[in-house]
Amino acid sequence: MKTMDQSVRQILEKAESIYNAKTVNKNPLGNSANMIFELSTKDNLIILRISECSEYKEKHIDFELKWLKYLSEQIGEVINPILSRNGKLYEIVSIDGESYILCAFDKAPGRLVNQNNLDEWNETLFYKLGSIMGNIHKCSKQYILDRKPKLCFEWNDDFAFSTEFSSLDDDVLKIWDEIIFELEKLPRTVDSYGIIHNDLHQLNFFIDGDKVKVFDFDDCICSWYSLDIALTLFQFVSAISYKETQARNIFAEKFIYSFLKGYRTQNSIESFWIDKFDLFLKYRRICTYKFIKEIFSKKDVNPHAEYLAWLREEIIDDKPFIKISYQKLSESL
Tell me, what's the pLDDT at 1?
A: 37
What lies within 8 Å, CB to CB, of 151 at 6+ separation is 144, 194, 222
* Side chain identity at residue 118, one-letter code: L
Tell me, what's the pLDDT at 151?
A: 76
Q: Are 329 and 260 in contact (CB under 8 A)?
A: yes
Domain-wise residue ranges, the chain: 4-106, 123-332
What lies within 8 Å, CB to CB, of 285 at 6+ separation is 234, 311, 314, 315, 321
The pLDDT tens digits for 300-329 are 788 899 999 999 999 999 999 999 999 999
Whole-angstrom Cα distance, residue 272 to residue 74? 28
Whole-angstrom Cα distance, residue 101 to residue 46? 16
Q: Which residues of the chain carry a pLDDT beneath 70?
A: 1-4, 31
Record the pTM: 0.95
Among 3.40.50, 1.10.8, 3.90.1200, 1.10.287, what is the CATH number of 123-332?
3.90.1200
Q: Per-residue b/e over 23-43, b at no fewer than 16 CB within 10 Å? A: beeeeeeeeeebbbbbbeeee
Number of H helices, E strands in the chain: 10, 10
What lies within 8 Å, CB to CB, of 181 at 6+ separation is none
Tell me, what's the pLDDT at 307?
A: 95
Q: Are 46 and 21 in contact (CB under 8 A)?
A: yes
Single out the residue of 291, 271, 300 nearest to residue 33, CA to CA. Answer: 291
The third-level CATH classification (topology) of the domain covering 4-106 is Phosphorylase Kinase; domain 1 (3.30.200)
The pLDDT tens digits for 57-110 are 999 999 999 999 999 999 999 999 999 999 999 999 999 899 999 999 999 999
